[in-house]
Amino acid sequence: MANNLRGACDGILQRVVTGKPRVPGVVAMITSRSANIYEGATGERVLGGPAMTTDTVFAIFSTTKAITGTAILQCLEEGRLDLDAPAKTYVPDIGKLEVLEGFDASGNPKLRAPKRDITTRMLMLHTAGLGYDFFNANYLRLAQERGQPSVVTCSKASLMTPLLFDPGEKWEYGSNIDWCGQIVESIRGKRLGEVMKERIFTPLGMEDIAFSLTPSMRSRLAAIHQREADGSLTPLPDMQLPPDPEVHMGGHGLYASIGEYMKFIRMWLNDGVGPHGRVLNKETIEVAVRNGLQAHQTVVMLPGIIPTLSNDAEFFPGLKKSWSYTFMVNDEDAPTGRPAGAIGWAGLANTFYWIDRKNGFGGYWATQILPFGDPASFGGSLDFETAAYATGEARAAA
């Protein structure tokens, strides 16, 4: 490996766009507490199309979640939210959700009232009983047989799914943070995008990020690609979230250029402070990055129930992982160099980030490929992260 950060990272980006199987294009960045120390863009926004650039816009999918979580934490700081009050206090519709106990002989869902109320804390920790159809067979059956809309429709109807288990029973990754977005809207009396702009994006100087693409953002948008069984790639230029979504989906709805997300990562590295004001208090940050799960709630592999959307996927198999507000926490040192207690997550089209508050740097790796857990992109992201630690430059810059 090259003995410098730029050489090492440039080599990894070049390898993933020229290898077999390849990725169409990639943008990757690393930031210290003060500024980006690496920015790279290689390949194409769409196969055969314009070159990938550092200002390319991506559907960032579930890396939206941490931003919505930040908006929830702001409500908490102001005393306008009780994490342990029933979430239906803020959004009555969530109180209508029943527990799915299976299906009867005719294929009708068997439903019952939950044993306890969903709380915002459960939503933040993914323990409320909600899932995703691409990770859960029962939800997929509801979609196929009962017409349950997908969350990518960004519709209110897509949120009205039954619960997979009683709230608090276990951890399952799902549409929890979309409901958190609805709670923020209820408390603030504004759409989630407006709240984010006022209270997160403006103090952080983030402009190239939104639930609806501006003309400028659309002109720089990378297309999503499908990885076929033979390893080839098929562009899916029409696969986009609704241009004017009914619901600002706090779990997956944002588009952004990666440089904008790095400003958000820097806020978490700097104890809640941005260039134009404080976003969160230091004490809130310190609580928010710690494991919030109980002993019976464990982070498990994400099973690829819809193979076109996700492979079986897991970060650092064999290592203990937990969940905070709202990040995955690796509870043991990872092979990439990421230390125990660092936080991070990913987005469906193979975007990945991590935030290492201990060493003072973080990174983001962005491609636009389905299914999730694409070996070429996921593997490239891990190599990229490893390079950030191996050269020592990121730690020194922090």
Active-site residues, by number, are: 62, 65, 173
Residue 192 host element (H or E): helix 192-196
Taking the C-alpha atoms of residue 147 and residue 164, their distance in angstroms, rounded to an integer, is: 17
b/e sequence 89-107, b meaning 16+ C-beta within 10 Å: bbbeebeebebbeeeeeee
Taking the C-alpha atoms of residue 386 and residue 382, their distance in angstroms, rounded to an integer, is: 6
CB atoms under 10 Å from CB of 256, counted, come to: 25
Q: Which residues contact 236 (CB under 8 A, 6 or more apart)?
A: 223, 224, 225, 226, 370
Exposed/middle/buried for residue 261 (C-beta within 10 Å: 0-12, 13-18, 19+):
buried
Radius of gyration (C-alpha) of the chain in whole angstroms: 20
Question: Is the C-alpha dihedral spanning 30, 126, 160, 80 positive or negative?
Answer: negative
Question: Is 127:167 a contact under the CB 8 Å cutoff?
Answer: yes
Q: Which residues on adjacent β-strands are paired with residue 234?
A: 226
Taking the C-alpha atoms of residue 121 and residue 172, their distance in angstroms, rounded to an integer, is: 14
Question: Is 367:373 a contact under the CB 8 Å cutoff?
Answer: no
Question: Is 97:163 a contact under the CB 8 Å cutoff?
Answer: yes
